[in-house]
């Protein structure tokens, strides 16, 4: 256990913490970040780089022949913290670096304390979801699985705080955090609303607010569905050993159900956006292809977007924007 702790710290750390050096009884202990991926694998277990991920990872990864090696390499390095800045004239912290193409996106190392209400911690992949949604001021949106509201807040910002957003989740604690964040940011158009989890055999979801009916449905619905989270393994290296192939399959079934139910109340010409922070085929293209096969009244509005962990670098994300015809 002692050697495993020391090794895991060396594999992930940019600098060796003094307590680790003392534990190893080597004051000159160095991190292993400069080693190649193959060298790290040998140091870790004397084996192959494929052993840095579960054996089933190749089976579920989207196009593993192209992406396997790049994913494993990306998983060995923690991405920077990404910030979303709503006041374009401000710099969030002195050491922050702006993204070259996405306005308001800044990267910083570590977890800086934030007191500016115009700054939100939000991964660049998550920010991309809001940009792909492309909401307009005055529109009505439903964030189906809102959680603590990072994407709801981004939608509100893109809508210039004009219109309405129903943000639902089965976790009341997450919605409490969303209310706090919305108040802090001065956002008035989000309505956090708890919903009951679907019962087995009766998978139906709907927003409690009825205001959308008078408009014939929502202008846009975001389904940021619960997923296996394989795209976040760079930030959560232990998750790769706590996740199974069964988790991937089970999540895909739930995602398909949520997407089908949510699509029922998109207005004609409205947008339905599906996103997951994972990179498996089952939870991404398989879900979308099955949905479009069953719902001929929907079509892809743009080609599906893949955001890979080495891009950014950031979380891995899949986003598909569809339109109701």
* Sign of the torsion angle spanned by Cα atoms 15, 20, 22, 27: negative
Q: Which structure tokens are listed for 287?
A: 């879900």
Q: What b/e readout covers 36-69, taking b as 16+ CB neighbours within 10 angstroms?
A: eeeebbeebeeeebeebbbeebeebbbeeeebbe
To the query of whether residue 277 is one of the catalytic residues in this protein, the response is: yes
Q: Which structure tokens are listed for 117?
A: 């209400």
DSSP 319: E
Q: In what order do the strands lie in the sheet with 97-98?
A: 97-98, 105-108, 81-85, 119-121
Q: Which structure tokens are listed for 61?
A: 């990864």
Which listed residue (71, 145, 227, 277) is catalytic? Answer: 277
Would you put residue 254 in left (φ > 0), alpha (ψ -120 to 50) or beta? alpha
- Catalytic residue IDs: 277
């Amino acid at each position: 256990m002692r050697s495993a702790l020391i090794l895991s710290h060396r594999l992930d750390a940019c600098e060796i913490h003094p307590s680790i050096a003392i534990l190893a009884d080597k004051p000159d202990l160095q991190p292993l970040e400069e080693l190649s991926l193959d060298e790290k694998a040998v140091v870790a277990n004397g084996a192959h780089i494929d052993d840095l991920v579960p054996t089933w990872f190749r089976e579920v990864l989207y196009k593993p022949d192209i992406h396997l090696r790049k994913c494993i390499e990306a998983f060995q390095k923690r991405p920077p913290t990404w910030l979303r800045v709503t006041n374009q004239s401000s710099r969030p912290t002195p050491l922050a670096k702006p993204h070259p193409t996405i306005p308001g996106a800044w990267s910083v190392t570590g977890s800086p304390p934030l007191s500016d209400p115009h700054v939100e911690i939000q991964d660049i992949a998550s920010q991309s979801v809001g940009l792909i949604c492309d909401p307009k001021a005055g529109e009505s949106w439903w964030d189906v699985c809102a959680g603590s509201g990072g994407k709801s807040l981004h939608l509100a910002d893109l809508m210039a705080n004009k219109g309405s957003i129903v943000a639902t989740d089965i976790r009341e604690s997450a919605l409490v955090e969303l209310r706090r964040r919305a108040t802090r940011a001065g956002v008035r158009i989000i309505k956090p609303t708890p919903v009951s989890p679907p019962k087995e055999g009766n998978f139906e979801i709907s927003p409690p607010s009825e205001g959308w009916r008078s408009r014939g449905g929502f202008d846009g619905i975001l389904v940021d569905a619960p997923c296996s989270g394989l795209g976040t393994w760079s930030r959560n290296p232990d998750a790769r050993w706590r996740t199974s192939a069964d988790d991937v399959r089970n999540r895909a079934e739930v995602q398909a159900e949520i997407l089908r139910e949510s699509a029922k109340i998109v207005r004609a010409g409205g947008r339905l956006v599906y996103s997951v922070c994972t990179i498996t085929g089952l939870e991404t293209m398989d879900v979308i292809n099955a949905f479009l096969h069953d719902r001929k009244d929907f079509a892809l509005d743009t080609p599906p977007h893949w955001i890979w962990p080495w891009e950014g670098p950031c979380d891995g994300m899949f986003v598909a924007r569809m339109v109701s015809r």
